[in-house]
Amino acid sequence: MKFSKRILNIAPSATVSISAAAKNMKAEGKPVLSFSMGEPDFGSPKSANDAAIEAIKRGESHYTLNTGIIELRRAVCDYYKRRFGLEYKPDEVIVAAGAKPLLYEAMQALVDDGDEVVLFAPAWVSYIEQLHMAGGVEKVVDTMSTGLLPTKEKLLEAIGPKTVGIVVNSPSNPTGAIYPEETLRMIAEVAIEKDLWIIFDEIYERFAYEPAKHVNIINVVPEVKDRVIIINGVSKAYAMTGWRIGYALGPKEIIAKMATLQTHLTSNASSIAQWAAYGAVEGADEDVEKMRAEFEKRRRVIVDMINDIPGLKVREPEGAFYVFVDVTGCPVPDDMKFCEMLLNEKYVAAVPGTAFLAPGYIRLSYACSMDNIKEGMKRMKEFVEGLKK
Ligand code: PMP
Ligand code: GLU
């Protein structure tokens, strides 16, 4: 039996597969603590649940507009106006079954075979594979030695005649870094000068910890707006990963192209989930703030506990809900091996940095309970100390 070259060239999502492995081990009765999935442990906001229940009662059980119900797209426009002062119209917004398909659609709409897209490493696992699915080639700008932020010099070096775009993810998964205004200005100016698209993935925008502040790139350089595709959604901000609702905002020409693709893929995202997302975007600001405050407390605890483990190093992340830990100073400096041993010996699941183009590091999500964090980091300490003997 033959499989396509396309599928054979795609690596499975490490975040998804490791968390599946952890879930399977747990189902076998092993005392697994998972730090692998970037998924808030909170329930969905009441306003989202209520809106979904009402939608079921009203019988909202049919196909919706391909680009999403007008109420949700209007609510997203209102949100962008109140949060960032940005003006978008509903035909500049598309709703999909999560942010992931939107990134895929954007890549498919922009990238021809052999075209290049700049990725800043460490980079979230799906960018590179989705780019490959579109026939594109990654130009990786490593930021590990430059404070997790790209420099202009390295960015310019990566751009050539075949480059069509840049992916920016702030707050970053996996590092939690937030791009400051100067970096965003530099990227926007380069994109304008070189005539490039920017895919601006701000799905973690609600999770910034003082004194850091999340900034939208269009607020820094307004002229960049006609080349930016914003990616956002309800998965992270409202702890609604399972509902599968994401939205993208951008010039209507690109949104229409993404919609064309979507007519042949999913048609529309689930009608009930769209209503739930509407409820969240319209009425869950307080819930989001509570979650943010809780993540901030957990961040403090996990960072302190890791820094107390000799051989491990972690920098305090400014946003999102991940810590990116340097394991090169411990007796098992290979991140793949480290994660495998940690899971098998201590039942603690983490994702190797290699999956994010950053070997020597591991990613832990602290979107789990404080008890998990305390017990998990205790086990990790025992694990690393045990390696020394
Ligand atoms: N972008 C980033 C940076 C992510 O971490 C994720 C993870 N979920 C996504 C996009 C996709 O989000 P969704 O679950 O809405 O598809
Ligand atoms: N984005 C989350 C993560 O990085 C969820 C899994 C995925 O979609 O990759 O863990």
Atom 9, ligand 2: residue with shortest CA distance:
15
How many CB atoms neighbour CB 349 within 10 A?
A: 24
277 and 131 part of one domain: yes
Ordered DSSP codes for 194-222: HT-EEEEE-TTTT-B-TT-----HHHH-G
Domain containing 308 equals 5-43+286-387
14 and 155 part of one domain: no
Q: What is the pLDDT of residue 231?
A: 98
Distance, in Å, from the CA atom of 220 to the CA atom of 224, rounded to the nearest integer, reads 9
Q: How far is the CA of 35 from the centre of ligand 1 (A)?
A: 16
Decide which of 283, 301, 319 is a domain's last residue. Answer: 283
Q: Which residues face 375 on adjacent strands? A: none
Q: Which atom of ligand 1 has the smallest separation from the CA of 39?
A: 8
Decide which of 234, 262, 283 is a domain's last residue. Answer: 283
Percent over 90 (pLDDT), the chain: 95
275 and 300 part of one domain: no
Comparing 13 with 130, the larger pLDDT belongs to 130
135 and 196 part of one domain: yes
246-249 β-sheet, strand order: 93-96, 246-249, 228-233, 197-201, 163-169, 116-121, 137-142
327 and 338 part of one domain: yes
pLDDT tens sequence across 199-208: 999 999 999 9
- Contact status, residue 238 vs residue 257, Cβ threshold 8 Å: no
What's the whole-number mean pLDDT along residues 292-297? 97
97 and 130 part of one domain: yes
- The ligand whose atoms approach the alpha carbon of 126 most closely is 2
Atom 2, ligand 2: residue with shortest CA distance:
38
Q: How far is the CA of 84 from the centre of ligand 2 (A)?
A: 25
- For residue 77, the domain's CATH number is 3.40.640.10
Pocket test for ligand 1, best of 76, 125, 170, 173 (most atoms within 8 A of CB): 173
98 and 30 part of one domain: no
Q: Which residues line ligand 1 (CB under 6 A)?
A: 38, 98-100, 124, 169, 173, 201, 203, 233, 235, 241, 246
- The ligand whose atoms approach the alpha carbon of 350 most closely is 2
Q: How far is CA 296 from CA 256, 337, 367, in A?
A: 38, 30, 10
Structure tokens given for 301: 């605890």
Answer yes or no: is pLDDT of 17 > 90.
Answer: no
Confidence of residue 196 (pLDDT cuts 50, 70, 90): very high
Residues 6+ apart with CB under 8 A from 202: 169, 170, 171, 214, 216, 230, 231, 232
Q: Which atom of ligand 1 has the smallest separation from the CA of 102?
A: 16
Q: For the chain, what is the mean pLDDT?
A: 96
Q: Which residues line ligand 2 (CB under 6 A)?
A: 13, 15-16, 37-39, 100, 124-126, 173
- The ligand whose atoms approach the alpha carbon of 232 most closely is 1
- Domains of the chain: total: 2
Structure tokens given for 355: 């999956």
Decide which of 257, 283, 309 is a domain's last residue. Answer: 283
Q: What is the pTM of this model?
A: 0.96
